Amino acid sequence: MWAWLLAAGLAGCAKSSIVSFDQRSILINGKRKMLLSGSVHYMRILPSDWNKTFALASELGLNTIQTYVAWNFHEPHLRDRNNATWTGRANLSKFIEAAASNGLYVNLRIGPFICGEYYFGGIPLWLRGFENVSCFRCDDTIWKQESRRWLSTVVDYVRPLLLDNGGPVIMLQVENEYRGGSQDYLDWAVDMATNTTKGLSVPWSLCHDLELCSSVNHRSEASGKAICTINGFWMEEFNKNPSQPSPIWIDTLRRLNPMMPTVWTEDQGWFDQWKVAKRVRSTSDQLYGIARFFAYGGSWHNFYMLTGGSNFGRQSGGEVVTAYAPDTVISPMLLRHQPRFGLYQKFFRAIANYSNALLSSASIPVPVRFNSRSRRLRGRSGHTAKASANPVLMVEACTDTDPSHIGVLDASQQFSLQLPESSSFGHFLNNVTGTSLCLSATSSVAPVSLQPCSSSSDLLWEFNQNQSSQLRSKAQYPCQAPGMKGKSCNRCLDYNSQLTLWDCKGDKDKELGNQKWGLDAKEEHGMRHSESGNCLTAVSSGNDWAEYVEYIEVDDRNEAKQSGLAFLSNLHMDHPVKVIWRGQQYLLMNHSVTLGARFDL
């Protein structure tokens, strides 16, 4: 039955198919696959709408569906233990069958804990009544016994639907966003899960804690392994322990797990909550992140959600509203969210058209920053920046309100004042590039830039960290204000629509507020402008704004062809960049990626 079903929908999916992977991608029967995916939760969509949903997914250009399996949806009462419901809205096999008939692979995230803003994270409430159960998602004997029983039940149910047996299921997930701190428990969970599919090729994954997942994979060869994946919003950088999709996370993944593909499990179209402002994602910003992910060698991207559906009855967790994740590419009413749907459709068709070229080699190219021929175009502020290898300072909205990392600033906004013993003057520095860079009082008036730290007195600053105050240079320099020519002044960081280094103002100066700052009293210090409330930010400058990644196509013998394609990226949020690449001039609009610029060798 399943072999016939898949012959109608999934080309190349036949009995005894095999899933494998390397550092570049998932392979099905040895052929690389660019997996373009979207999350659809069967418990939030009526069965009568499953086929329509999958038809829209195919129309969008996707080839994979991802879903959680909610334990308490199938065993809601204690009397249902060992007698799970698999009919009606809970007919998971029919859901998977419908996906396959629309030419879609399936990724099942079993848990047993799933989160998903679902009631009690999918765990049955009756489990709390078990005598002597001390904790969930831990080394508790009862929890392990019940979670093993449930996960084995699900695996046995879907076993005929795994790719090895002619079905569309190409990956399974154990646990979900585990940050409980018990490496022993996570090791056990992966071993338990992989033992249920011993002898089969379909891999297991762990999402969203790279350090814990990597530790699982660094055990002995006989131990279970999991593909480490990531959830969240694309960020050009995050912090020293990256927990969002970003170049830093991708680099860390490949360093710690060199033979695993780059998988983005949840590119989040956020859910809404009662009494909380509606969350909306910018189409252009999301597309920029997806393009950057593929430029960096990503090979599996998943929209979370493709469509959110509805929280029926008391399904929703916390304060989540009835329409789950309404700001998605397909609405809960299964309407195309235009113009977003059309733009995403064009993008994914382009990725699919180029997928053979992008995946022709197992190697992943290194991004390269453009040379000095790159220059920033004159922007609205009316000035053109000089090319500089060091970040420049700007004042931008503080990032600690981002829902993906509430209370934590991006590394670009983390500053510190390092004071030697018995001195009130020290270095004011930032580590956004991975190396300490200091503010120099001899930096150009605008834009203000950072430079490598040294013992120079030009890099010494005084600041009262206990109150709003001026960041004042130790050394004095020729005054810049009219009427002060020939005199010497200390320099202060000054912000009034533009950040500058200017003569320090006196207590009675009416513009003193432009130079008042506050430094957060916590590890991730934010330098906040007292009047605007915005944060000092280190951003890429000059020829650091643009970069390219070239993919050289190879043939079946792994020899380079005479052609390739490239991604050209402008990382700057506000300004376009003009670059020269392979003898041709390109105008890269702000915060954009040019996809598929073909070239001949």
Please tell me which residue in 177, 211, 396, 531 is annotated as part of the active site: 177
Nearest to residue 123, comparing CAs of 70, 87, 172, 177?
70
For residue 29, report the phi and psi dihedrals to the nearest 5 degrees: 55, 40
What is the Cα–Cα distance from 377 to 574, expressed in whole angstroms? Answer: 11
Question: In this structure, what token pair is assigned to residue 125?
Answer: 């409430």
Query: Can 266 be counted among the known catalytic residues?
Result: yes
Neighbours of 491 (CB within 10 A): 27
Nearest to residue 113, comparing CAs of 93, 136, 140, 81?
136
What is the Cα–Cα distance from 532 to 569, expressed in whole angstroms? Answer: 31
What are the Cα distances from residue 8, in Å, to 97, 102, 158, 269, 595?
11, 8, 20, 32, 32
- Residue that is written with structure tokens 């390109």 in the block: 586
What is the Cα–Cα distance from 345 to 61, expressed in whole angstroms? Answer: 6
Own/partner long-range contacts of 99-102 (Cβ < 8 Å, ≥24 apart): 99/50, 99/54, 99/65, 99/168, 100/5, 100/6, 100/9, 100/10, 100/13, 100/167, 100/168, 101/5, 101/8, 101/9, 101/51, 101/54, 102/9, 102/51, 102/54, 102/55, 102/57, 102/58
Please tell me which residue in 146, 175, 266, 550 is annotated as part of the active site: 266
| Coil/strand/helix, residue 75 | coil
Question: In this structure, what token pair is assigned to residue 43?
Answer: 């418990």
Question: In this structure, what token pair is assigned to residue 122?
Answer: 């999918």
Neighbours of 278 (CB within 10 A): 10
Query: Can 177 be counted among the known catalytic residues?
Result: yes
What is the Cα–Cα distance from 346 to 355, expressed in whole angstroms? Answer: 14
Whether 385 and 392 have beta carbons less than 8 Å apart is answered as: yes
End-to-end, the C-alpha distance of the chain in Å comes to: 49
Strand partners, 36: 301
Nearest to residue 529, comparing CAs of 572, 569, 498, 560?
498
Nearest to residue 37, comparing CAs of 8, 70, 62, 14?
62
Strand partners, 66: 39, 107
Beta-sheet pairing, 300-304 with 35-39? parallel
Question: In this structure, what token pair is assigned to residue 246?
Answer: 């970003």
| Coil/strand/helix, residue 513 | helix
Neighbours of 598 (CB within 10 A): 11
Q: Sign (positive/negative) of CA torsion 302, 304, 306, 312?
A: positive
What is the Cα–Cα distance from 574 to 567, expressed in whole angstroms? Answer: 19
Whether 570 and 416 have beta carbons less than 8 Å apart is answered as: no
Helix ranges (DSSP H) in 359-501: none
- Active site amino acids: 177, 266
